[in-house]
Structure 1
């Protein structure tokens, strides 16, 4: 099984997770495959090309390009009834099974920083968030903690998607068909992010900060707001003496009544068609996605959620559960390139990340909007 290995999801965690399955199925040995620094998304195509593909892949949502390499799980009730299962279908077929929902449009915040800046109410609009960032900066805090690599565009999406998809729930389809343009729909968020950079809310050295370092910096109380997915709650729960941290849903601009919430499947599992152990792999997936202990262990370690599967949390986790309770399922939106039938052209995530890093380096918002319009003109429709 090729898996995502992170500070939370260590090889030790994965081996302990599958141990009860191996005990119950003595004829099956689950070998955990660590993709190393290249990650699952880069490792799988290389392994497929080399004829050395794993039986099971974790953390990689199915795409139309990848679907031919994946076993159709439509015959398995545990796959078709799982979290976000229908939303991730491609051509009506189910190619993955997940363990829960992973929230993406979140702003974790340092409560001490907010107190020192005189912020007594959490922002519920982007305009209020602007005011909070100004107050934090004036109080001597680094307002936003972000970094290089994939982190760069995560903060931008936390700013943009609640408004963009809140205003147009069919945004993914309209962008893919060419009926909408990036600058018309996303452009104001790009301009606002450029303003944040110019105001110093995002430090100039952010591009050189790696994910583990950004995470530890925020945990240590060195910055005020950390746009990050719900898995950070698992990191906070395991940290020694972290700063006092809270969380709020990333807001939309004033006037958008139903702010969208980025929500992806947590820990999607798929079986490769090249596997000669499909039956055994299906047993493993059923265990990983339905066994109460296995599901709860996976939910808890990365701060994810699923109806009917409860676990003890920290105060921060309780705040996240409240956000889940307050967010209608109809408000959930994909992030990045999307999933299932709600997808943008391949390569969008990489291009958005590249352009966000340009913003962080001082490129004008108008130039980034123009570049993204050109990219969609060449890749959509």
Structure 2
């Protein structure tokens, strides 16, 4: 694919499109405030301001960082990110550790039990572990980080991020669309379903997916704008049993997904694919559409000899209206209370989320956004920026205040059950049953 000239992605500018620059406004208060739910029931909510506020303690030693390792966020990436900090701090080393379990969350829980927890966690975490983290100081460098209020626990910020990622996106093969006779990207769920059939008829996999965590994540990227778009406090209401999944957008999307599997628009053997394989399959030109977050831009931009041009559009809504973007903190960091190097860990985290070069490298690595920062981008980066600019707002996902611990894993299991013959009716009933059994956790 011929590369278009670089476009500067200027995040937080008041307007878009002038002079080849693309702006992306920061998410508004509805992201956090709408989902706010008291979580003081989490015993031991962090209220300590000692190490976090003062940054005391030894300034030498080894800092262990348990990081979210992905095809883009490799160990080498993190090592390069912290290298300038290490160089400017004699006597300091940083060890990047990969998850030993299925993901960072499960690995952290295992290490907490065994007493071998790291100093820093570089990954999005469920609020259930907030009690194990220090509270960051009420300083401007903390409160100015993207979506810093999005998952406060007991009024304390325990996780700070480098950027903001946008997740309710559908990447598509423009050549496949042309061969299937699709002239414009679908806006409604009905149009999306019809286009899946057209792509299958043209010899493509309609919707690229995979097993592991991908199945449930893609579903939430599609359904959450509908679930939370008009009612950002939906999870809180579910905990009060005022609403149910059966009567929500989740039921609508589960029934649509069931139909996609039955018609073969989504192959039944998709669960056998790994996350990286799903990316490779899409980039090989075998799939028509791929629901994924903005971090996919990095894989597309670095791909060699693409035979087609990749486009992007917002996930479809039930009625075809413009959806809010499911958004979240990108590359967040938390510091363990058990760390023997809290002061040094705080120095490192502050560097990672405030140093201009470190922040810019982080944003560029996954095509993320942050007010006041810009970096050279591609035409695809600009297209995502335009979607963010024109979205009517943002919603949170399957993590954050009001969402019961473990819901993301349960949703993944339920969506995957559709591939083994479970009906959408039974699947949504399982979600309600699980929530009733785990409410308040």
Which band: TM-score by shorter chain?
A: over 0.9
- What's the counterpart of residue 333 of structure 1? 395
1:238 and 2:290 equivalent? no
Cα distance between partner residues in 2 of 1:372 and 1:61:
21
Deviations 1:166-220 (A, max 9, x none): 2422212112221101110121211111111111111011011111111100011
Tell me the SS of whatever aligns to 2:246: helix
Cα distance between partner residues in 2 of 1:288 and 1:366:
46
For the 8 Å contact 1:143–1:224, the answer to whether it is kept is yes
Cα distance between partner residues in 2 of 1:177 and 1:356:
24
Choose from 251, 254, 276 the match for 2:319. 254
1:193 and 2:193 equivalent? no
For the 8 Å contact 1:233–1:316, the answer to whether it is kept is yes
Cα distance between partner residues in 2 of 1:240 and 1:87:
37
- What's the counterpart of residue 161 of structure 1? 224
Cα distance between partner residues in 1 of 2:133 and 2:437:
29
Name whichever of 100-109 and 126-135 sits farther off.
126-135
- Correspondence list, 1:310-321, <5 A: 310-321=374-385
Call closer, same or farther: CA 1:49–1:37 in 2, change over 3 Å.
Answer: closer
For the 8 Å contact 1:166–1:258, the answer to whether it is kept is no
- What's the counterpart of residue 129 of structure 1? 192
Q: Would you tell me which structure has more strand in proportion to its own residues?
A: 2
Tell me the SS of whatever aligns to 1:107: strand
State the 1:151 CA deviation.
Answer: 0.8
1:178 and 2:262 equivalent? no
State the 1:333 CA deviation.
Answer: 1.4
State the 1:88 CA deviation.
Answer: 1.9
Cα distance between partner residues in 2 of 1:246 and 1:101:
21
- Correspondence list, 1:44-83, <5 A: 44-61=108-125, 63=127, 65-83=128-146
Name whichever of 309-318 and 143-152 sits farther off.
309-318
Cα distance between partner residues in 1 of 2:69 and 2:298:
14
Choose from 320, 326, 350 the match for 2:409. 350
Number of equivalenced pairs: 374
Tell me the SS of whatever aligns to 1:99: strand
Cα distance between partner residues in 1 of 2:347 and 2:188:
46
Deviations 1:309-358 (A, max 9, x none): 11112221111111122124xx211222x21x3x2222211211111111
Deviations 1:44-66 (A, max 9, x none): 11211222211111113350x21
1:85 and 2:144 equivalent? no
1:269 and 2:321 equivalent? no
Choose from 107, 129, 132 the match for 1:43. 107
Give unmatched runs, 5+ long, in structure 1.
none
What is the alpha-carbon root mean square deviation over aligned residues?
A: 1.6
Tell me the SS of whatever aligns to 2:97: coil
